[in-house]
Amino acid sequence: MTASAVRVIGVGSPHGDDWLGWELAERLRTSEALAGWHERIAISLHDRPGAALLQAWQGTGLVILLDAVRSGAEPGRVHRFDAAQLAAQPRQLSTHGFGVAEAVQLAAALDALPDRLQFFGVEIDPANTEMRLSDAVDAALPALVEEIEALVLSALQDRK
C-alpha cells in the first residue's frame, strides 16, 4: 500500500456554500476517528482544480472527492456517486465551470481513474450569499463526516 492509501480532495472556495468541500476536508483532517491513520491519508483543498484532479489522485487507492452541488434538489441533500455514476452525471453538477464530473469523465477517457473513487456532495442553497455555510448545508455535515470516516477506515483496514 502506498503512503497515501486514501486521498481526500476538498473542492471549493471561501464563498458561502461553495466552502463545503473545504469544510468537510478540514473536519476529516481533525477527525478523532482517523487520528491513528493520518500517515496513510492525504487531504488537500483545491479551488476549481479541473483537469489537475487527475494528477492529484495519481497512484492513490481510494479517492474521496468533496464538493458543493447545484442540481436543483433541496438544499442540504447529500449526493453520493462512484466514478461511473459521476461520469454519467449531466454537465454542471458542480458549482465550478470544469468541475469534478468533467474531470472524472476525462480521466475515464484517458484510463487515468484511481483504483476507487467516491464523490460526496451536498446540495447548496443558491440564496446563501453569506460568508458561511447555510443552515441546511451545515446540518448535513456531521452525519456525512461519520459516513466518510467509516468509508476511510474500512478502506485502510482492508489494505493493511
Predicted TM-score (pTM) above 0.85: yes
Tell me: pLDDT of 158 over 80.
no
Specify the CATH number for the domain of residue 129: 3.40.50.1450
Average pLDDT over residues 1-13: 78
Determine, yes or no, domain membership for 27.
no
pLDDT at 160: 61
41 within 8 A of 97, measured Cβ to Cβ: no
2 within 8 A of 59, measured Cβ to Cβ: yes
Determine, yes or no, domain membership for 24.
no
**63 lies in which domain range?**
6-19+33-158
Determine, yes or no, domain membership for 42.
yes
How far apart CA 135 and CA 65 sit, in angstroms, is 22
Task: For residue range 106-127, list pLDDT tens digits in order.
Answer: 877 787 788 899 999 999 998 8
Closest CA to 27 of 47, 5, 12, 15: 12
Determine, yes or no, domain membership for 122.
yes
75 within 8 A of 65, measured Cβ to Cβ: no
Give the chain's domain count: 1
Average pLDDT over residues 59-75: 90
